[in-house]
Amino acid sequence: MMNSLSGRFLILTAVFVMLAEVLIFVPSVARYREDFLLSRLERAQIASLALLADDMIDEELEEELLRNAGVFNVVLRRDTARQLILSSPVPGPVAASFDLRDASAIQLIGDAMRRLADPEPGVIRVIGEPVREAGLLIEVTMETQALRAAMIDYGLRILMLSLVISVITAGLLFLAVRRFLVRPIKRVVSHMQAYAAAPEDANRIIEPGAGVTELREAEETLKTMQTQLTTALRQKERLAQLGGAVAKISHDLRNILNSAQLFTDRIEMSEDPGVKRLAPKLVNSLTRAMHLCESTLAFGKAEEPAPTLSRFALQDIVGDVIESERLSAGEADIRFVEEVPPALTVRADSEQLYRVIANLVRNARQAIVASGTPGEIRVRAREDEANWIIEVADNGPGLPEKARDNLFKPFEGGASKGGSGLGLTIAAELVRGHGGRLDLGRTGPDGTVFIVTLPKGELETAA
pLDDT digits (tens, 9 = 90+) for 37-90: 888 888 887 777 766 655 556 667 777 778 888 888 888 877 666 777 777 888
Residues of the chain with CATH 3.30.565.10: 306-462
| Strands, E assignment, 307-458 | 310-313, 334-339, 345-348, 375-383, 387-394, 437-444, 447-455
pLDDT class of 391 with cuts at 50, 70, 90: very high
Q: Distance between CA 392 and CA 107 in Å, rounded?
A: 89
Helices (H) and strands (E) in the chain, counts: 13, 12
User: Please, are residues 25 and 33 in contact by the beta-carbon 8 Å criterion?
Assistant: no
Q: Which residues are registered as beta bridge partners of 393? A: 378, 449
Nearest to 313 by CA among 340, 289, 291, 277: 340
Is the per-residue pLDDT at 417 higher than 70?
A: no
Q: Distance between CA 163 and CA 301 in Å, rounded?
A: 68
> Does the global pTM surpass 0.75?
no
Is the per-residue pLDDT at 462 higher than 60?
A: no
State whether the Cα torsion 43-48-53-59 is positive or negative: positive
Across 92-104, average pLDDT:
86
Q: What is the pLDDT of residue 389?
A: 95
Q: Select, from the ranges 201-215, 299-313, 423-437, the one with the highest average predicted confidence (pLDDT).
A: 423-437
Q: Given 3.40.1160.10, 3.40.50.300, 3.40.50.970, 3.30.565.10, which CATH number is that of 306-462?
A: 3.30.565.10
Question: Could you tell me what percent of the chain has a pLDDT over 90?
Answer: 17
CA atoms within 13 A on the CB side of 335: 6
Q: What is the pLDDT of residue 262?
A: 60
Q: Pick the residue with more confidence: 205 or 322?
A: 322
